[in-house]
Structure formats: structure tokens, C-alpha cells
Structure 1
Amino acid sequence: MTDHPVMLIVVYCVVLLVIMYFLSIRPTQKKEKKLAELRNAIEVGDSIITNSGFYGKVVDTTYDTLIVEFGLNRGIRIPVAKTEVFGKAEPNMSNEAPPVEEEPKKKGLFRRG
């Protein structure tokens, strides 16, 4: 009977680790995988936004580096690591606010999907 409290603590710890995996680690891995796919799909001619908020156009690519033109006159070419690309995006050059898109209501446990 003395082994039951120890076994209960072990089961409790395993359950907590499983919950932490599904609520924290797994969604992060999904986001990283999606972002890696987006970065690998970037081609010459795509407009991108960097993690620091700069917009540019890709003029050349290598395995892990992009050559990006910045500025209105496109005279500034800077090598950027693919890991520093936030996504594909065109800058909004007008003074109008972009249209607001409504997110569909999520169903399920904790409204996650």
C-alpha cells in the first residue's frame, strides 16, 4: 500500500506533461512548420516583410539567404537570412485603412478549432 502514493504522483506528472505538450508545444511546432513552408516557397519577384517591418522585393535566392531590394528606387540590395522573413506582403501605400476581415467563430474545446 505504500507504493500507491508514489504511483499516483508519477501518473499525475505524466498527465501534466501530456497536457502541457498538447496546449503549448504542439501548437508552436505547427506554427513553426507553417512558417518554414512559407519561407521555402518564396521566389524571385515576391514582395516580403521582414521581422523588423521592412518591405522589399526578392531579386535572388540561395539556400538560406535572400537578396532583397528595399526603397522606392529599388537601389538598395541587402542579403537577408530566410529566418528573418515574416511573410509575403505588399505595403499599403494609401492613406486608407485596410478592410477588416471577420474571423469565423471557432468551435470546440476552448474555442481552438
Structure 2
Amino acid sequence: MLMLRAIIRPERASEVLEKLSEAGYPAVTRIDVVGRGKQKGVKVGDVYYDEIPKEMLLFIINDEDEETMVDIIMKTAKTGEQGAFGDGKIFVSPVEKAYTISSSSETL
């Protein structure tokens, strides 16, 4: 079992979720977040923005689904601007256990 966290531009989140759902991955936790990458924010004119709005999509998946889901997110979340900052990151971590609260049983 894996935890896949995708931090992406908010304007791309709905399309990413639609593509994942079409591919058979409808379950998601969606969280509004702010942050900045290694570019340390964005300066527009005289205004400096160091907290950029993003969406974090959180999935618990089977190991064999990682490549497919990462591929869908990468293709759908990318803005198309080669070398542009801010399209996001995907993090994959192992999950030892998961429990369903309503049934008090281990899942996946």
C-alpha cells in the first residue's frame, strides 16, 4: 500500500480528478494548501508572493497502481510551459496499515 500526495495548481485539480476517476481511481482527499518551491515564491511588479495557493490530492493506493496514477497526474497537471516553476510535486510513501472507522477493520 502507498500514499500518493500530489501538490498541484488549483486550476488543474478538477481535470486531474476527472481523468483519475475515468481511469478507475475515484477515491481522493482534496485539501487547499499554500506553499512555495525552491524558487522561494513569485514577484509580480513590486509585490512578492511567498505563499502560493495549491491543491493537495491525497490517495491511498495499491503498489501496482503507482505508475498509472503518477502518469495521469503528470500529464494532466502539467501546464505545458517547459521548465516553468509551479506545476507541482508528487510524493509517494509506504503505508503500513489503514483502517475503516465505520467497520473497525483493516482495509486494502
After TM superposition, is the score higher than 0.5?
Answer: no
Of Structure 1 and Structure 2, the greater helix share is in: 1
Q: Which has the higher contact order (CA 8 A, sep 6+)?
A: 2
**What is the TM-score with the length of structure 2 in the denominator?**
0.23
